[in-house]
Amino acid sequence: MKKQLFGNIYGKEVYKFTLTDGKVSAEIVTYGGAVRALYVPDKDGKIKDVVLGYETLEEYRVNDGYLGALIGRVGNRIGKGKFSLNGREYVLAKNDNGKNSLHGGNSGFNDKVWDYEIIGEKLKLSYVSADGEEGFPAELKVSVVYSVEDGALKIEYEAVSDGDTVINLTNHSYFNLDGEGSGDILDTVIRIDADKITPTDKELITHGDFMSVENTPHDFREPKKIGKDIDCKTEQLEFAGGFDTNYVLNGTGFRNIATAVGTKSGIVMDVYSDQAGVQFYSGNFLGERKGKNGSVYNKRGGFCLETQGFPNAVNCQEYPSQILKKGDKYRTVTAYRFR
User: How far, CA to CA in Å, does 294 sit from each of 55, 115, 156, 172, 291?
Assistant: 9, 30, 32, 22, 6
> Contact positions toward ligand GAL, by CB under 6 A?
64-66, 76, 102, 204, 244, 279, 281, 285, 306
Is residue 111 within 8 Å of 32, Cβ to Cβ?
yes
76 or 161: CB nearest ligand GAL: 76
Report the first-to-last Cα separation within the chain, whole angstroms: 22
Set 27, 134, 172, 180: catalytic member = 172
57 or 74: CB nearest ligand GAL: 74
Active site residue 172: yes
Cα–Cα distance measured from residue 138 to residue 87, given in angstroms and rounded to the nearest whole number: 15
Sign of CA dihedral 288, 289, 295, 300: negative
188 or 279: CB nearest ligand GAL: 279
Is residue 25 within 8 Å of 148, Cβ to Cβ?
yes
102 or 258: CB nearest ligand GAL: 102
> Degrees (nearest 5) of the Cα angle 296, 281, 53?
35
25 or 315: CB nearest ligand GAL: 315
Active site residue 306: yes
Q: How far apart are CB 229 and ligand GAL at their closest, in Å?
A: 18
Cα–Cα distance measured from residue 1 to residue 254, given in angstroms and rounded to the nearest whole number: 27
Q: How far apart are CB 185 and ligand GAL at their closest, in Å?
A: 15
Q: How far apart are CB 31 and ligand GAL at their closest, in Å?
A: 17
66 or 338: CB nearest ligand GAL: 66
Cα–Cα distance measured from residue 325 to residue 132, given in angstroms and rounded to the nearest whole number: 16
Is residue 312 within 8 Å of 75, Cβ to Cβ?
no
Nearest CA-CA partner of 142 in 106, 178, 169, 107: 169
Q: How far apart are CB 77 and ligand GAL at their closest, in Å?
A: 8
Other CB atoms within 10 Å distance of the CB of residue 223:
12
Cα–Cα distance measured from residue 185 to residue 286, given in angstroms and rounded to the nearest whole number: 12
Q: How far apart are CB 306 and ligand GAL at their closest, in Å?
A: 6
Q: How far apart are CB 234 and ligand GAL at their closest, in Å?
A: 17
Is residue 307 within 8 Å of 136, Cβ to Cβ?
no
Active site residues: 172, 306
